[in-house]
Homo-oligomer: A and B are copies of this chain.
Amino acid sequence: MTIAANKLIDGKLIAQTIQDEMAVEVADMLKSSTRAPHLAAVLVGNDGGSLTYVNAKVNACERVGFASTLHHLDEWTTEEELLKVVEQLNQNPEVDGFIVQLPLPKHINENRIIEAISPAKDVDGFHPVNVGRMALNLPCYLPATPSGILQLLERSGVTTSGKHCVVIGRSNIVGSPISILLARNESIGNCTVTLCHSKTADIAYHTRQADIIVMAIGKPGFLKADMVKEGAVIIDVGTTRVDAPGTKLGWRLKGDVDFDGVAPLASRITPVPGGVGPMTITGLLQNTLLAAKKAIYK
């Protein structure tokens, strides 16, 4: 199916543009600084998906001129050992920001690890201090995916003030923070926001009223044409692997939106892949740059 080019929100292109801008800024910083911004990543175990994500983050650092380090620990690393690594990274003045790739093995308490990260180096924006500062509209590291969504809207020229935005899904990393961010008194914000989730009585009832829909539940093809008002802006955060017989990998990524059905109705829509996904790493890089500049915490 063919979709008018001006209808698609091309996350790949927007992410590339932002990263190009960052590369210029980093090159400029290096004229007066002794070292490049430095992102460290901690990976525990050998989960295939996590390895892929972490490698993509490390590669993105290279593209914009950041230094990066990967700390790959074996899957039997204890919580205390991991806390020591976190503390070393907190103390290391050569590291501007770091992430601990989630999920962690079940024997490790994720919250305890996240809370051990210095808020000043928490470039994932997962520490309660950063989440709280976000909710209070104080300077902070925004979580990467919601931050990416805000920038997709901004760079696509979507106005949000006074619009009704319906968010489907209340996860700590996407649905809940984007519902907070879009309601704030900010230029990309000032939406009336409805947050729906698994206990919502009738999701379609709400999505049909929305000017902007953010889908973040991980149910491929959930949002159908009869659930959408004509002219709505559709942001699809879903990325579920579905079987794709005959392809090289045997699978492909599918979003939460029935793209072929919904796209003709939408005024703007993000594809999967190539929509929100590429923006997530961009958000992480931007937080790392803020950390290197000590723009949020002194």
Residues of A participating in the B interface, judged by any CB pair closer than 8 Å: 111, 127-138, 161-164, 170, 172, 176-177, 179-180, 183-185, 190-197, 199-201, 206
Contacts and interface: CB of A to CB of B under 8 A. Distances in A.
Contacts of A201: 162-164, 192
Contacts of A111: 136, 138
A298 to B, nearest CB: 12
Residue of A128, A163, A193, A200 with highest tally of chain B CB at under 10 A:
A128
A138 to B, nearest CB: 6
Residue of A127, A132, A135, A170 with highest tally of chain B CB at under 10 A:
A132
Contacts of A129: 128-129, 132
A176 B172 contact: no
A32 to B, nearest CB: 30
Nearest to A194: B194
Contact of A190 (B131, B190, B199): B199
Contacts of A164: 201
A130 B138 CA distance: 14
Contacts of A177: 135
Which DSSP category, helix, strand, loop or mixed, fits chain A's interface? mixed
14 contacts: A111-B136, A111-B138, A128-B132, A128-B138, A130-B132, A131-B135, A135-B135, A170-B184, A176-B183, A180-B180, A191-B199, A192-B201, A192-B206, A193-B194
Contacts of A199: 161-162, 185, 190-192
A223 to B, nearest CB: 16
Per CB-CB distance, the 9 closest pairs between chain A and chain B, nearest first, are A132-B132, A128-B132, A131-B132, A190-B199, A194-B194, A192-B200, A128-B133, A162-B201, A183-B195
Given A131-B135, A132-B128, A135-B180, A196 B192 contact: yes
A118 B68 CA distance: 34
A180 B167 CA distance: 13
Nearest to A160: B199
A205 to B, nearest CB: 9
Nearest to A184: B170
Contacts of A195: 179, 183, 192-194
